[in-house]
Amino acid sequence: MSHSNRLGSNHANWVNGLRSDFSREFANRREEEELKENLVGPLVNNVDRVHWYIKDNAKLHHTIKFDQIHDSSSPKPVFRRGQTFYVAMRFRDRDFDLDTDRIILNFRFGPKPSVAKDTLIVLPIINKKFTKTKDEWDVRIDPGTRAKDLVLQVFIPATAPVGIWRLNIRSGLKDRSQGAGMAVYKDETDVFILFNPWCKEDLVYLEDDKDREEYVMNDKGKVYVGSFRKPRGRPWAFGQFEDVVLPVACYVLELSKYPHSERGNPVKVVRAISGGVNDIDDEGILVGRWDGEYGDGIAPFKWTGSVRILEEYLKGGFRPVKYGQCWVFSAVTTTICRALGIPCRSVTNYVSAHDTNSSLTIDKFFSKAGDEIEGGPDGENWDSIWNFHVWNDVWMARPDLPPGYGGWQAIDATPQEESENKMQCGPASLEAVRRGDIGLGFDCPFVFAEVNADVMHWGEDDESDWGYKRMKMIQFHIGRSNPEGSAAERLAIHNAIRGSKRAQIYYEYQENVKEDVKFDLIELESIFVGEPFKVKVVIRNESDEPRTVSAALTAKSIYYTGVHHFNHQKS
């Protein structure tokens, strides 16, 4: 006999009834307890409204240019951490009395504010002076307090998370015998808190006024494209103070899924921005495209500013905008960073390497017939050299690295190679790149190769252990972080090779071959479309013996990213 049969057919209904009764009784008891706890006595002073002194605070916080400050219908405060701001509240029932009224400010950040994680700030109104350290939020009663108006000065520590905060105000009585409950006033104003490059305690502090004006406040400039012989500046309107920018910047941080408690760390924030400006992982701002087919969107070269892109992103329900290329990704990144208070600049690297396998080299493989083997011997090598590539430098201290590696850091929002399973890049210390210290976070090997990679040509060889021998190494082709041919440059490469096992393997294939025959392909100043052209190759034998030379000369068209398009002729 089954267990259910032994208990009778009505047992299941009886158990379900018990569950329902127990749940209902428990809920009723808790509701009664909460009503008792929250019982607000007749003497509690309720908050009627809050005044943020938006424009006065903005002048002190260098945020007066933001459109949010001047919105006629719903202005919003924009503060920088590491400073104080003023806020006032008017009570509805009677004059404020410090001896009678118990007032607590709750600043809340993120969906699950927590005191332990510094995303829920609890500030009781007690003192007329600041009493805490600069590492903590603090509040004092301002002498301007009168009658029903309580005026406060609040200090934001220079480590506070950046983004949108909200304020709740709890009001009750200090004498609990007259009522233990507290009324809660929920202010619906979005409070933007930003990084502060004017504050010495902030990790993004930038000392020089001219630098702050250029890399934080300047809302227009140029992004350079073209070639190293013919660089060309594209005018760009960054527009970081426009109304659409701050909300989208905060949304991009949400895409990163970084804990809200870590959003005071500029290292994490710029890494999130580099991943959120492109669309690969999290439906970020821009779709990249390089094949010339832009019929279902806008061609990258037609954009002239960031604001229109961000407006399209917001109006389209946060669907990625089509299309961008490296200079567009970089310009939008500049806009987002400057809006959040991070000093930022767009940087163009001419003859820029794209190393796809962390060898620190740009490797080209050729068959015995002289044909390039696309993808290399294993089909996984797609190294290329771009005419130019544009990324960003951001300024910050790096307490996570050894001393001396702070300052400018490279980040790159153009989707190229994954980092920690996501299309993001940086921040990579420029000092680490200059020294070849590629073991430091983040993505230093990739950035180092962009500016320092040696170009290696490999040819099929049946006598080689792995089927290829190195035919040529070009050391002075890629854009450099140190002067070409300098001792500092070769030392940096030596240091970098020591930090990469794959690079050690590639540089070990010397084969004891002397490179005593030099080839010089004379570069053409210009080629006119549809017109024939001549190529001049100078071959110089620097040995004392005759040399037999086999050469293959191929003319092909490529995109500016170095990606092969079409073979025109081979001889």
Query: Which residues are known catalytic residues?
Result: 326, 389, 412
Distance CA(318)–CA(138), nearest Å, equals 37
Residues of 382-398 as b/e, b for ≥16 C-beta within 10 angstroms?
bbbbbbbbbbbbbbbbb
Q: What is the helix (H) or strand (E) element at residue 519, kind and residue range?
A: strand 517-521
Q: How far is CA 352 from the centre of its chain?
A: 21
Yes or no: say if 344 and 195 are a contact pair by the CB < 8 Å rule: no
Residue 388, helix vs strand vs coil: strand
Yes or no: say if 44 and 181 are a contact pair by the CB < 8 Å rule: yes
Q: What is the helix (H) or strand (E) element at residue 472, kind and residue range?
A: strand 468-474
Tokens 């910047």 label which residue?
249
Backbone angles phi, psi at 75, to 5 degrees: -65, 150
Q: What is the DSSP letter of 320?
A: P
Count other C-beta atoms under 10 Å from residue 100's C-beta: 15
Yes or no: say if 360 and 453 are a contact pair by the CB < 8 Å rule: yes
E strands along 213-371, which residues? 220-226, 231-237, 286-288, 321-324, 344-354, 361-366
Residue 401, helix vs strand vs coil: coil
CA atoms within 13 A on the CB side of 254: 14
Distance CA(76)–CA(487), nearest Å, equals 54
Neighbouring residues of 419: CB distance < 8 A, sequence distance ≥ 6:
425, 442, 443, 446
Count other C-beta atoms under 10 Å from residue 571's C-beta: 9
DSSP one-letter string for 149-174: EEEEEEEPPTTPPPEEEEEEEEEEES
Distance CA(309)–CA(463), nearest Å, equals 55
Yes or no: say if 69 and 55 are a contact pair by the CB < 8 Å rule: yes
Helices (H), 289-325: 306-315
Closest C-alpha among 518, 225, 481, 272 to residue 360 = 481
